[in-house]
Amino acid sequence: MAHKGPGKLPPPKDIKKDKHGFGKNISFSADELPQIKDWEVGGKYQIVIDVTQISDEINQHEPDKGKRSARFKVEKVTAYKEPIK
């Protein structure tokens, strides 16, 4: 898959987990991301998501008071078929 982004990607950053050990979750149907038909639960895969930023916020509540966050609208998604080694 040749994805043409605006430049070189920085190294991936781990997502903070909540007190139950979960990070961020997203869902896609097989119509949106056909590769999932060949994937296995527990496998690690790399996806590319094109998004539009729809908000920019500074948190006003503890424990994240003063931290910036943003919301995004997912426009397109694609993925490498093979798992990450």
Over the stretch 15-48, which tens digit does the pLDDT of each residue have? 888 888 888 889 999 999 999 999 999 999 999 9
> How big, in percent rounded to 5, are the helix, strand and coil portions of the chain?
5, 30, 65
Is residue 51, in this structure, part of any structural domain at all? yes
Give the range of the structural domain holding residue 55, as residue numbers without chain letter.
47-85
pTM of the model: 0.69
Structural domain contains residue 1: no
- Counting the structural domains of the chain, the total is 1
Say if 30 falls within a structural domain: no
- 34 occurs within a structural domain: no
Q: Is the pLDDT of residue 56 over 60?
A: yes
Backbone angles phi, psi at 16, to 5 degrees: -60, 135
